[in-house]
Structure 1
Amino acid sequence: MNEPRIHPSAVVEPGARLAAGVQVGAFCYIGNDVEVGENTVFGPHCSVQGPTRIGRDNRFIGHCAIGGEPQDKKFHGEHVELEIGDRNLFREFCTINRGTGTGGGITRIGNDNWLLAYTHVAHDCMVGNHCVFSNNATLAGHVEIGNHVILSGFAGIHQFCRVGAHAFIGMGALVNGDVPPFVMVAQDGYGRPRGINSEGLKRRGFDADRIGAIKRAYRALYMSGASLEESRAKLAELASGSDDARAFLEFIDAGERPLLR
């Protein structure tokens, strides 16, 4: 049995549960009601507060603050949680907060994500799989991030916004509306759509036909000059022949915040 390896200077509370192969570095703190899966590694000076569940094969490089109380004045000590999946990488000084009692009660991060230095995930956020958050990227509370999303350095996402799968948010862009799947956003005061993430889609195996259909959906939504309702009607036509155009339409229909246009 590969027992956990805990540095003598680390503090692991009795209520923490560490699986086989877990490594806890110097000056770490692992609190009560923290569960850590196999082969997860904590570098020096990390802290993990519970209730938090962390999967297997994650790496916390150092000075990460994980599972802290939400930064929300409405929080009054309710039972709220953080859930992290498998094979994620968290670089230096990442901060990830638990949920709130009025916001669903849980913050959730999926699998195979890279969160680089000084990134922040606030309370009640939902992050998918295979995302990359570059240095200083920040999510406010209640943000939803789809799969394969890239946030460039210093990007900021406003509370309650959604970012669809395969979207790309440019450096320093401030997003204050929902971003549909596949769309690129560039800085212009607040971020504005600037085409689709063609290069990223090619790297993930999207063929020319799929990318062409996504471009037609983008043009219908952003370049036709039509109203949102007129654009929705056009997207409905395109959706009959393209699952990706349907993803555009379903994303719009599910939103509560204004669409970023």
Structure 2
Amino acid sequence: MFRGRGWSFGFRTAIILYFICLIVLPIFGIYTQSFSLGWMPFWESVSDPLAWKAVLLTVKLAVIATLINMALGTMIGWVLIRYRFPGRSFLNSLVDLPFALPTAVGGLLILLLLGPNSLVGSLASSVGIEIVFHEPAIVIAMLFVTFPFVIRAIQPLLEELDKSEEEASYTLGASKAKTFFSVILPTMLPGILSGAMLAFSRGLAEFGAVVLVAGNIPGKTLVASVYIFGEIESNNPQGAAAVSVMLLTLSFLILWLVNVLQARRTGA
């Protein structure tokens, strides 16, 4: 028994040390680096107009991508769970492709499919719509990397949904629309919200796909992650860390909200 307890203690210690080295120390290092020169240099870094524009643009486009993901993810998750059709399993497996594919490859795909020399890009340009090297391309890149979050968050909820509740609603004379909004949607809502917040947090940090398609024009298409990279390239790690702290703190708040929603859903 003593050996079993010793092994368990050693295993827990190893996990804690791994967590500290992989997560806690890098985060602590970012906060320390951002204030390494004092409060005033930190404030000057985060209040720089280009930094604020990059952060606000990132937040705005991440919100747009998240709202689109909420709508499309809910519909796709619903179809994949409730309907049976040829190729369903293959499509369901493709949902996780953005998790496995390097994001830079995703950006290259967008560049090839929607760039100025592509068929879609040239047609869009002919009617005055610019995609690549403009904000629409950034939104598409964010959509690509965050595509699975909402779908995978609502699928377990739909699988656990008791169909007798739907049947009871139909029996009482409710229409399909009323049944969806009064019975089905409340069940899916925690998954939609948690998946949306994870997608938003992921969109804030995206670099690989965005850097290839954004154009990276300061004040126009320069997002926060590319701005941070530029600060590092300019030998300004304190400025890069200061902007990183803004995104990191926002991500912490989002993850905290996700945990609160999940705890309420499970009744913990």
Task: Pick the TM interval, shorter chain.
Answer: under 0.3
TM-score (norm 1): 0.20
More strand by share: 1
More helix by share: 2
Larger Rg: 2
